Amino acid sequence: MKKLLEISLGIVTSVGGFLEVGSMATAAQAGAAFRFQLIWAVLLGTICIIFLVEMAGRFAAVSHHTIADGIRERFGFTAFLWPLLATLLVNFMVMAAEIGGVAIALELATGIGFQWWALPVAFLAWLFLWKGTFGFIEKGVSILGLVTLCFVVGAVMLKPDWGQVAAGAVPTLPEHDAANYWFMAVSILGASVSPYLFMFYSSGAIEDQWDKSYLGTNRAIAGLGMSFGGTISIGVLIVAALVLAAHGIEQVDDYHQLPLMLIQIFGFWGFVLFVASLGIACFGAALEIGLQQAYLVAQGFGWTWGEDLKPRDDPGFSTVYTVSLFLAAIPIALGLDPLKLTIFSMALTAASLPLTVVPFLFLLNDERYVGEHRNGMIANAAVIFIIALGFVLAIVTIPLQIFAGT
Amino acid sequence: MAATLQARIVDAIAAFGLRPDRLCLLLTTFVLTACSPSDQIEQQSKTAASAAQTASLVLGAWAAGAAPSTYTSRTLQSVGKALVDAGAQIQSAKSPEPSEQAGLTAVVGQLSAAVTRAATAVQDGNRSEAEQAQQDIQAATAALNASYAKHFAPKP
């Protein structure tokens, strides 16, 4: 019964924590520009993240190491430095985008420009991390994030042609704007297969003191939680296709366009639901990324770490999330467009994938860490596929970034 | 444009093989060569059309009491800026059909002016002026679509 409760809570946490500014913005842009045609990218990203999250959780439960710990110990600090720097940089940009997402939600709610909200949001996030516990951060904010299910409700209420939706699950070549189509596909993959998701998950498993008895729980949370989370992203895409594209809005390059998706379905409450979804989802993600930055550096340098410890007991860890949050708020406070930053950072996330995913192939096959629970053929094939996909994305991202003009 | 691009990619990949360095070089070449004035005008016309539809949709929601005034007004201001930018970019493109280009620029200018009027009307809570501005936006959007079709119609 206790395990069932933990699984349910884990799934709810994954669902509530799945949607953030990246997945929301990329799905909305894709739906507006290409209707259901890019659903396959969301599905592919979701399948990839299910595999990576399951492996990260299994590695932590069996070896009692986080992924970052494992990379440093197995390959040495010099080899660890590259994924560390790449992940820190990408996380920094994604965190800035998430702070921007909360700031936009506050601008929509109050009419005060988003720039003015960046530092207060960073301060509030810092306060949560400074005073809160891991359980509070992980479960409290994620459960509030269930408000994002309004996109799924909205998609069902719009009564889409489910045959066409299903057809979108099969990759097809675009009939127009090929560069933009592939750039959107890359950005969706970047938003779905974000390194902070699986790295945070492995640190969370250590914080929650998982052991081998959690392997089934881990599988259920990774599979069901991420699948339901992906469903919300598809919900956003469907709503964007049936509201924005149907009204002739094929380009979403201004965040003011986004609330119209729900306003058309729920009226004024749609506006409220959108503001709440964006604010809560992005705030939750900003907290998780702030923690993830601190986990990465602390684990990389062998410092004491843990969100459940008092800041005076892990000063390095607390300093990293403090500095990260305030630095990430600066670009938004200076007026950088959060939507443009989001799309750009999602594409770079996709490009950085090989650096963070290649170590999985070694760590999850090393008996010294995972013993009999090492990867099987399917899991290894999945990792090799993700690495290959990551290399292709790394090569095409920058030219597409310029060519698509986003 | 998309079909041409795909054909170019497929042909070139077949000719060069799939070596990543060559593929990257190829893509970079596309980046540097593919943005013609016509592409620029097409892209900016689409941006203007999306912006105009956004203005119509948000004004409709505001009139129905579904969108707050502050949000509506800010959205219209932002759309107005996007239209000014689009108009400037259409005007600066070196098109082989200057008269049609001028027609597109003028229509985008009308749209921008109507959206600015709508933003002011929403700010002032003036419903009749907002309704009038919305009608102007719809008329200008229809004119934009006509100009776009004329500019990109197949030439004999």
Structure confidence by residue, pLDDT tens digits, A163-215: 999 999 999 988 888 888 998 998 899 888 888 888 888 988 998 899 999 99
Percent of chain A with pLDDT over 90: 61
Burial code of A16-38, b = ≥16 C-beta within 10 A, e = fewer?
Answer: bbbbbbbbbbbbbbbbbbbbbbb
Q: What is the pLDDT of residue A8?
A: 75
> Tens digits of per-residue pLDDT, A350-392?
878 888 899 989 999 999 999 999 999 999 999 999 999 888 8
> Tens digits of per-residue pLDDT, A55-66?
999 999 999 999
Q: What is the pLDDT of residue A186?
A: 87
What is the rounded average pLDDT of the residues A39-48?
95
The distance of B27 to chain A (nearest Cα, Å) reads: 6
Name which of A249, A270, A399 is nearest B54 (Cβ-Cβ).
A249
Interchain contact, B66 vs A270, CB within 8 Å: yes
Domain ranges of chain A: 2-403
Contact A186, A179 (CB under 8 A): no
Q: Fold for domain A2-403?
A: Amino acid/polyamine transporter I (1.20.1740)
B34 and A CB contact within 8 Å: yes
Among A340, A346, A357, A363, smallest CA distance to A391 is for: A357
Residue listed under structure tokens 């599905």: A43
- What span, in angstroms and rounded, lies between the C-alpha atoms of B99 and B112? 20
Q: Which of the four pLDDT bands, split at 50, 70 and 90, describes residue B22?
A: low
> Tens digits of per-residue pLDDT, A271-306?
999 999 999 999 999 998 999 999 999 988 888 888
B47 and A CB contact within 8 Å: yes
Q: What is the pLDDT of residue B8?
A: 46
Helix ranges (H only) for B1-156 are 2-16, 20-33, 37-63, 69-92, 98-124, 127-151
Residue B154 DSSP symbol:
P
The distance of A254 to chain B (nearest Cα, Å) reads: 8
- What span, in angstroms and rounded, lies between the C-alpha atoms of A295 and A203? 7
Give long-range contacts, CB 8 A cutoff, 24+ apart: A218-223: A218/A54, A218/A57, A218/A58, A218/A61, A219/A54, A220/A7, A220/A10, A220/A11, A221/A7, A221/A10, A221/A11, A221/A13, A221/A14, A221/A53, A221/A57, A222/A14, A222/A50, A222/A53, A222/A54, A222/A57, A223/A50, A223/A54
What is the rounded average pLDDT of the residues B112-141?
95
Chain A contacts to B (CB-CB under 8 A): 107-108, 110-111, 173-179, 181, 247-254, 256-257, 259-260, 263-264, 267-268, 270-271, 391, 395-396, 399-400, 402-403, 405
Q: What is the pLDDT of residue B20?
A: 47
Residue ranges of domains in chain B, CATH in brackets: 2-33 (no CATH), 37-151 (1.20.120)
Q: Which of the four pLDDT bands, split at 50, 70 and 90, describes residue B154?
A: low
Percent of chain A with pLDDT over 70: 97
Interchain contact, B2 vs A247, CB within 8 Å: no
What is the rounded average pLDDT of the residues A254-260?
94
